[in-house]
Each structure stands twice: as structure tokens, then as C-alpha cells.
Amino acid sequence: MNAKIKIVDDFLPKENFKLLQDTILGTTFQWYYNPTIDSLDDKDKFQFTHIFYKDNKILSNLYNTWYEVIFGPIIGHGVLDRIKANLLTKTPEIVENIFHTDIASETKLLTTSIFYVNTNNGYTKFEDGTIVESVENRLVSFPVNMKHTGTTCTDEKIRVVINLVYMTYES
């Protein structure tokens, strides 16, 4: 395991996690179709997203409700850049997407965290070969400039993660 990658299982208290999971996986949560994942040329890949916060703007009515009990504990005393949920649908075989960084930045103060909403056989993979399995209520954090990729899953209808990018004060 790469020392720059930090994994915390059972990150949120059970009652907070259950609230988040029931809401995001529920029938009234708003998902938005995104016709691309890797590039505009890729006709067969798509995902659904929900942006909570971006460009210093709150874009979801759930942001304020969840900040103190869910988002705040993840970013600590950091400064938020973006929070986005991603939903990928089941595929016959696991499909890995292209390695990427969530934003273009060389600063060592930016962190990416991925919070896993449901357990499935999908995963996050890093360029060095490290694989982090999708386990509900798991948080993985790493420097924003580490290339990584997500996958689909084959054993559940959907794979859902929340992606956070934020400024930290640790070097």
C-alpha cells in the first residue's frame, strides 16, 4: 500500500452513514445524466452525478443538512473545493476508466477523498497498482495529484461514491 493513501473504514457513525446511504440510494435523490466519463469520443461510457458544492457555490439543498455530520468530518479544518457524488451502473464485466486527477494542481496542500456509499466489487485503482475496494462507509484520502481511476461493478445494480477535493494544512 502506498504510504500517501490513507484508508479509514467505518468512517462515519452508523446513524450518520445510514442517513446518507438511505438518502443517496433512495428513490427521491436527484441524479443527473453525464454522457461522458473519460472523453467525448467514448460512446459507451456514462455516469450519473450529483454536485453538492463547486466553485464556491452550494449546488445541492442537502449540502447544509449534511455538512456538519458528514462533509465536515471528512475535510476537517480544510477549505472545500468540490463535492460530487458519482453513480455508475452495473456492467457485465468490470470496466476501468482512464487514470486521472480530479483537478489540475501541483500543490501538496490539496487532498482528494473518496467516500464509498455502497459495497460492491468495483474499486479505485492508482497508477502504482494499489487497489482500494468499494466497501460502504470507507474513506480513502490521497494527494490530489495522484492519478487514479474508478470502475463499474458486476455484483450490484450500482456503484456509488462521493468525491471530495479540499485544501488541507498538513504537508
- 57-81 per-position pLDDT tens digit: 888 988 888 888 788 888 887 788 8
The residue among 79, 47, 34, 71 whose CA lies nearest residue 153 is 47
- Give the total number of structural domains in the chain: 1
User: Taking 50 as the threshold, does the pLDDT of residue 171 lie above it?
Assistant: no
| pLDDT computed for residue 170 by the predictor | 56
Cell 480530479, located at residue: 102
The residue among 163, 169, 171 whose CA lies nearest residue 71 is 163
Domain membership of residue 1 (yes or no) is no
Domain membership of residue 108 (yes or no) is yes
Question: Residue 130 is part of a domain; what is its CATH number?
Answer: 2.60.120.620
Domain membership of residue 101 (yes or no) is yes
pLDDT tens-digit readout, 100-110 = 888 776 666 78
Coil, helix or strand for 48? strand
- Strands 79-89 and 158-167, by their bridges, are antiparallel
Domain membership of residue 142 (yes or no) is yes
Instruction: Give me the chain's average pLDDT, please.
Output: 90
Domain membership of residue 93 (yes or no) is yes
H/E segment holding residue 18: helix 14-24
Domain that holds residue 141: 6-25+33-167
- Strands 47-54 and 32-34, by their bridges, are antiparallel
| pLDDT computed for residue 152 by the predictor | 96
Domain membership of residue 46 (yes or no) is yes
